[in-house]
Structures are given as C-alpha cells and as structure tokens.
Amino acid sequence: METPRTPVSARHAYTYDWNAAEHRRAVRWTTWARMRRPLFRVLRVVLYVFLALVALVAIGMALDGYTREPIELGVLALLVGALVLWFPWLTAALITWRTGRTDPNVHHPMHQRFDAVGLHVSCRTAETMLRWDGMQRVVETPRFLFFYYSSQLAYYLPKRVVDDLPELRASIAEWLPEGMSILSAK
C-alpha cells in the first residue's frame, strides 16, 4: 500500500531515480573527504613507510640468497598497498552493492525539497527532515550537493536534477545559520 505524502512545493523540489553509478561516486567522494583528514594522512604515510621498509627487507633477503620469502613478502606488500590505494573505490562499490540489494527505496523515486526550515527527504517508505541549524556543513562538488548531518554522514542531491542551481544556492546560503556557507570542493 502506497503511503500518502506531504504535498511538495514546486520551488526547490527535486525528484530523481536512484542510480548505482551515481551513488558509487557520491560514496567514493565522501570516503576520499574523510581520508583527507589529518589523522588519515598520517596513517597513510605510516603505512607507506612500512610498505617501503617491507620492500627493502624483501630486496635484502633476495640479495642474501633467499628465493621464496622475498617474493611472498613482496606480493603481500603489493596487495596491502593496492588495497589502501583502492580503498575508496572498494568501499563505494561494496556500499552501493549492499544498498541496491537491501534498500527497498532505491527502486522508487527519491524526493528532496528545500525550504526555510531545512531539507525534506522522502521516498517510498520514509520521510525525514534535516533542519538547517542541525546541519554540520554543505559541500558542493562538480556533481553533487552534500548536506552533512554528522561529521561523516550526508544526504546528497545530484546536480543533474537541479535546473535552478544558482537560485537554489542563493536560497540555501540565505537559510544556513549565520557563519555557515556552502563549501566548494573540486
């Protein structure tokens, strides 16, 4: 049985179908954004230094006459390095695959509406509202607008469905709490 919906104002209201490739790009972008934080940068440097040391040990073992161990150690180092480099892509692919299989809403239109109160999101089985004063930040990328309701979690609006982007930007800037603005990320 279809759930009745709140009437949607025509101004700043967008409806779109979920798209796996688009979802993957959004998840990959938010994962990269988290990995650019200082702690993750330090962890990446530590990991790369560790992998370089493992490679040096493998080369040293090979020069000392060992044959099998350096190859195994080198392959292990390459696998770990590849996993770290491909982490955002792997994470995005896994989350998108899981979402497509387990979320019944992705097979129905998504609705997002913006007004002076906040962002209203509705789909087949759920409705939610994110108030502007509860928003951590708003980030605009070349393909998306991200609305963060925690330091790591965000709703996204694909810019492909926004035909009035300058007007939407101006309205959001007006509605955001004082001192907060739309952050631009490339």
CATH number of 13-17+105-184: 2.30.29.30
pLDDT in 10s for each residue of the chain, 186 residues: 444 344 444 589 999 999 999 999 999 998 888 766 677 677 778 877 888 888 888 888 888 888 888 788 878 887 887 777 778 888 899 999 999 999 999 999 999 999 999 999 999 999 999 999 999 999 999 999 999 999 888 999 999 999 999 999 999 999 999 989 999 887
SS3 letters across the chain: CCCCCCCCCCCCEEEECCCHHHHHHHHHHHHHHHHCCHHHHHHHHHHHHHHHHHHHHHHHHHHCCCCHHHHHHHHHHHHHHHHHHCHHHHHHHHHHHHHHHHCHHHHCCEEEEECCCEEEEECCCCEEEEEHHHCCEEEECCCEEEEECCCCCEEEEEHHHCCCHHHHHHHHHHHCCCCCCEEECC
